[in-house]
Structure 1
């Protein structure tokens, strides 16, 4: 009984094959054996038909591979191969023709294809299958061929088990993978020792036919081009059958991966080129992270930055206790009665009249107001030409009007943010939709080895890591608001230290900086929805504005009356962003663009230097350079006199040298990442000015209190750490997607965040500390009269 049962499948196959042979016209197909090479010749009147029968065990997936070869290179009369299965037909010709760039053609005499596997047999017993292979040609003469049909033993990939294989353009490969019970997401990792030939990795649903040739691999599923490395994250929910094919296609040329196209494709050159198109690959499928890791990462992101809120509350509470103790000590001091009778620190001295710039002033001084000799000393043209300037000389305008002027920065940046962000969000949503619909993962330059999807987002970790910019930007706004409220209360109380002492408090620029920090987080998150060549300016636009606002704030500190207006400042930022966009488009190869940009850069540096040196009294128009040349000739050549403002001259000389160096560097090397090049110019100028400010502050015997000193140290340390991770390049839209993936690396934090995410965390903290430096740097001057505070 047992022997009869075992022989039944074989008997059924023989009967099925005999019946097919007897029913076929002309003698029917020849029985075929797996693993045996069949050789023959075909012409217009003679074709060959082979039948390969086999049985599948219950639950088994059987895949069959067909290898064919023909020595004929005659494109007029190719050999035609047609493979018929139970549910489909697959056909191709030899020579197999591929078309490349510029209509180049590549012909292959050897072809092998994996047939779409049969469905697993039901549990009740084995199933019988039969495959027909038809070989034909319309040639009037004989064309020789070879045929080999084999059953694949390693067709199903296993989790965490590397598998090595070889593929070529005419011999693609694909394999089956089934999700284990406890795995909801996997990462398909593919590596190769050779950069070229260029290949494509595709993940397709279990549907026949399988698209495994260069001209159709993009028709189904998701795919990536590849040189040495590729990684695709696949989720169980996207495949109803909980299984998929991993398809590997070798492209006939390397242009798509950044390689060159062969200069000739004729004769032996074409054959030699084709023989080099074989690539050894290794594929490993590993489980991706679980849902609990997403939750841990979100908790880590929010709690890390909420700790800054806790630290700020502690500092505010300590400050409140110190102020209360100081107020109590002043009330108990013996001198309190005398100071109270004379008005104390709450009222300004009546003999000096209302302080300049106080709330009692209701007009703004203009040049036309002065026409008598006693008032000439108050003319700003005269005051600002003094060799030694003090803060009282540059804080003479009505405080309320100046504050309103700086509040325009805040309201304008909100308007800019809304109108800038809305189309950006719409555009990146479109990008993400295109990626999800087409499956083309070459559109976006992710770090695919650490890209964790969530919902429709392909790399949620890169978006989540920007939460620090928004949380710390909001915290900075709250800190500035607290200072603003305390200052307003002191002004209402007519506190003389608020009216006549310290740096004039104008908070409009600080509010604008906080909004810019929050918007940097929003736009950086938008950029990382689909990072690519076309939208990189989204990530850098508000970085330019942050650097510019910081420089404006630093200059405003000692020059409150002559700082740039919000309209001119934002117009300048708009010009910079426009240049950045033009640089991304034209900056790679266009020498004339770099010549024009370098000229603009140098001239802008000279014009701004002249304006700073003469404290805003050098009229900005087309004649500025002519007037500057006359002054230079008179003071430096004709008379060779010592500069009147030596400190400013040193700063401006160093600043111009730095900017001219940037201009020359750009003109000579023409860096491909133009947006980062401009950002580097802004950051270097900001650091130079901040260093000059701190040096001059120390040189003027001013103090650095503990809080600003701590912020300076924290800023330096955190920026150093942040820049380390910034330069760990994980992708590059300056290269092809395949070349960019060579830089991809695994996650380094919580198994969820990569180096660039750590850059986001640290840069947010570094910007926050940088803002605190500007906010607290001159707190030591709150008890120093403004006519004793030097301007530099």
Structure 2
């Protein structure tokens, strides 16, 4: 049959009239649905009853009640009040009569107001949308939607004033910006994106919850693709539109970010000035003391040879004496010769000499600083040049990729691609969350400042070397700055890559944010080990190759680590074996060969030392450290095997950080046991590091989003800004972690400054 209805509605200025059509049919016959066609001045809207939705595995859902809002007409000042005519056609091909109900109503609350909450109900067959107009003094607003119930899954969309409005599950993604939602959603909308300075907010309920993390339909239930379900899926929603922050807040946030970290530059200048004044005073005191006293015991080894050996019977040999670490000019006697490795005898006997020296029970720094300083420095400078190369080749494709991600988000309007904290995501230009990017400026500024501090020390050290300063040549820890430069570059790159990751944080680019964290932790451990073992530290090539393996494991862990038990078994075995191999190298100072015969030799050592005679370990301090370290790493391996944490990247980072903290604690304890001192600056840096790291980790664990879950589930963790109305908890983590890493680097840089006046044959190795 066919029915035709003419409806005449009048609308008056200045309101916007919207009409809602409700239809209901008792017929469930899918072969003969009732067809409804609504014709308006600007468009045609049609649907059928029962209304059918298709879900996963071709599962179908039908609804007998359908309610749709017609595209509204707005009277203009030129035309004035007018009548709106609507034609409704009802038809069916059924050979029998079908009863239906039709109800047309005028919406009383169609236009949303600023800062006023509005409650309503929606379902898959009865979507809702409302109009919002920007007030004169508002350029940006945040649409906040909340619901008490997690399910049913829904979609919130912002669309321009265009008819027809896309308000069904199969077409809501065709226009505008949209998010999936369980309990809350938030969309920031800017006036400049809507020429008419108004938009529709559309609410659609999905027929299934799979998109929001709900249970997947079992295959047993999908054997009949024609099976239909008529479910009552209604959801109570509340929408509130509030003004976003003003442009002045952006300016304040930028000033705060830069000034906060520029204060570190000011503090460094003050410390450097105080150090310079003390050096000048110490220099003149030394000069007056030289007139009445002899030089201290110095090395008399030929220039260019091993500078770690001390000859107490010799005099200073004409070398200059000044305050340690100051490098004040006192004449120049520059040795322009540069030795290469080819200048030295490389006969096999040197290997036996290494065995004799490095297997002594009590080692001193002079035993492990026998190589030529220039060659060792070149070896450590490779760390610096290699990390620059890695940074360039890593960063360029990363930047290109995240630009593509941001472009896709802006073009498609799909805000489920990126896992922001939408309640505190402030856009700027094409960037959706500028605050998450700005908060990484601390890593770059403090990384550059650390490079300047290291460069200053390097210049002073070179100047002292040119003057043949006795304290520089024969006293204190040998100064090699290659690893420090690499650490500074790594800190800056962590800021760059973290900013890139936060352009569009998601499952596919998580490694951008963590790769250089692994490298920073590894470089810190290498630097700590190099301090007392300058001749036997790992080469840059093997170190970076190890970091590459760790990053590969991190990627594989995120891809396969969720449900694959075999991956965790293999990873735990690799972890334990790597810990044992590294422990063996550390315990025997690199004199234990790692080859196919390692297991036989290890079994022999265990049998002779532990079973046959149960002798005391030859290197007790090292043994204690390695036992504790292996227990910690084995505990991590067992924990991962049993619990299989979902955030595999953070799990590996936790392993690195725990090992670094363990080694640093061991180093400081052994330093104090050896009657060495902690000067005020390193002591201050240690305290500052502990305090700032504790505060930073507190904010780190305030989870605001999670790419391990669906976008809708991630948004349940979203929270408002906490700092200046611009930065959220994760931004504060960025600020504090940058400061904490900077102080951590300063600890490593200044920890052994008290040894600058101690001869190297008196400095123990541990």
CA distance in 2, matches of 1:454, 1:370: 60
Q: CA deviation at 1:629?
A: 2.2
Q: CA deviation at 1:354?
A: 22
Alpha carbons 1:106, 1:270 under 8 Å: kept: no
Of stretches 271-280 and 713-722 in structure 1, the one that deviates more from structure 2 is: 271-280
SS in 2 for 1:379: helix
Alpha carbons 1:364, 1:397 under 8 Å: kept: no
Alpha carbons 1:72, 1:95 under 8 Å: kept: yes
Distance 1:778 1:658, change over 3 A: same
Q: CA deviation at 1:119?
A: 2.5
Q: What's 1:474 paired with?
A: 448
Cα deviation digits, residues 334-379 of structure 1 (max 9, x gap): 9999999976761799999999999999999999999999999991
Structure 1: give runs of 5+ residues left out of the alignment.
Answer: 1-59, 262-267, 323-332
Cα deviation digits, residues 643-663 of structure 1 (max 9, x gap): 000000000000000000000
CA distance in 2, matches of 1:502, 1:579: 39
Distance 1:290 1:66, change over 3 A: same
Q: CA deviation at 1:128?
A: 1.1
CA distance in 2, matches of 1:233, 1:350: 58
Cα deviation digits, residues 224-258 of structure 1 (max 9, x gap): 00000000000000000000000000000100000
SS in 1 for 2:697: helix
The 5 A counterparts of 1:68-467 are 68-123=23-78, 125-261=80-216, 274-322=230-278, 346=320, 379-467=353-441
SS in 1 for 2:464: helix
Of stretches 117-126 and 640-649 in structure 1, the one that deviates more from structure 2 is: 117-126
Structure index of larger Rg:
1
SS in 1 for 2:617: coil
Distance 1:219 1:359, change over 3 A: farther
Alpha carbons 2:633, 2:655 under 8 Å: kept: yes
Alpha carbons 1:365, 1:397 under 8 Å: kept: no
Alpha carbons 2:325, 2:472 under 8 Å: kept: no
Q: CA deviation at 1:580?
A: 0.5
SS in 2 for 1:214: coil
Of stretches 766-775 and 359-368 in structure 1, the one that deviates more from structure 2 is: 359-368
CA distance in 2, matches of 1:610, 1:365: 33
Distance 1:387 1:369, change over 3 A: farther
CA distance in 1, matches of 2:742, 2:325: 43
CA distance in 1, matches of 2:543, 2:746: 22
Alpha carbons 1:607, 1:625 under 8 Å: kept: no
Alpha carbons 1:377, 1:383 under 8 Å: kept: no
Alpha carbons 1:232, 1:448 under 8 Å: kept: yes
CA distance in 2, matches of 1:538, 1:432: 15
Q: CA deviation at 1:620?
A: 2.4
Alpha carbons 2:63, 2:231 under 8 Å: kept: no
Q: CA deviation at 1:122?
A: 2.7
Alpha carbons 2:71, 2:164 under 8 Å: kept: yes
Alpha carbons 1:355, 1:500 under 8 Å: kept: no
Distance 1:335 1:570, change over 3 A: closer
CA distance in 1, matches of 2:134, 2:666: 61
Q: CA deviation at 1:120?
A: 2.5
Q: CA deviation at 1:789?
A: 0.1
Alpha carbons 1:357, 1:399 under 8 Å: kept: no
Cα deviation digits, residues 486-506 of structure 1 (max 9, x gap): 000000000010000000000
CA distance in 2, matches of 1:565, 1:777: 23
Alpha carbons 2:334, 2:466 under 8 Å: kept: no
TM-score relative to the length of structure 2: 0.89
Alpha carbons 2:61, 2:231 under 8 Å: kept: no
Distance 1:383 1:681, change over 3 A: same
Alpha carbons 1:370, 1:379 under 8 Å: kept: no
Cα deviation digits, residues 65-103 of structure 1 (max 9, x gap): 000000111000000001011111100000000000111
Cα deviation digits, residues 492-545 of structure 1 (max 9, x gap): 000010000000000000000000000000000000000001100000000000
CA distance in 1, matches of 2:208, 2:652: 36
CA distance in 1, matches of 2:303, 2:489: 45
SS in 2 for 1:164: strand
SS in 2 for 1:688: helix
Cα deviation digits, residues 677-710 of structure 1 (max 9, x gap): 0000000000000000000000000000000000
Q: CA deviation at 1:628?
A: 1.8
Distance 1:368 1:654, change over 3 A: farther
CA distance in 2, matches of 1:541, 1:494: 41
CA distance in 1, matches of 2:620, 2:173: 67
SS in 2 for 1:230: strand
User: 1:600 aligned to 574, 586, 595, which one?
Assistant: 574
What is the Cα-based RMSD across aligned positions, in Å? 4.5
Distance 1:124 1:253, change over 3 A: closer
Alpha carbons 1:728, 1:755 under 8 Å: kept: yes
Distance 1:348 1:634, change over 3 A: farther
Distance 1:368 1:386, change over 3 A: farther
Cα deviation digits, residues 175-208 of structure 1 (max 9, x gap): 0000000000000000000000000000000000
Alpha carbons 1:356, 1:396 under 8 Å: kept: no
CA distance in 2, matches of 1:404, 1:576: 26
Q: What's 2:474 paired with?
A: 500
CA distance in 2, matches of 1:355, 1:474: 27
SS in 2 for 1:146: strand
Structure 2: give runs of 5+ residues left out of the alignment.
Answer: 1-14, 217-223, 279-300, 307-312
Alpha carbons 2:327, 2:463 under 8 Å: kept: no
Cα deviation digits, residues 310-335 of structure 1 (max 9, x gap): 0000000000011xxxxxxxxxx999
Q: CA deviation at 1:621?
A: 2.4
CA distance in 1, matches of 2:336, 2:567: 50
Alpha carbons 1:85, 1:132 under 8 Å: kept: yes
CA distance in 2, matches of 1:335, 1:253: 80
Q: What's 1:16 paired with?
A: none
Distance 1:393 1:342, change over 3 A: closer
Alpha carbons 1:357, 1:395 under 8 Å: kept: no
Alpha carbons 2:418, 2:506 under 8 Å: kept: yes
CA distance in 2, matches of 1:372, 1:292: 68
Of stretches 119-128 and 472-481 in structure 1, the one that deviates more from structure 2 is: 119-128
Alpha carbons 1:602, 1:660 under 8 Å: kept: yes
Q: CA deviation at 1:557?
A: 0.0
Cα deviation digits, residues 379-424 of structure 1 (max 9, x gap): 1210000000000000000000000000000000000000000000
TM-score relative to the length of structure 1: 0.86
Distance 1:260 1:378, change over 3 A: closer
Alpha carbons 1:83, 1:134 under 8 Å: kept: yes
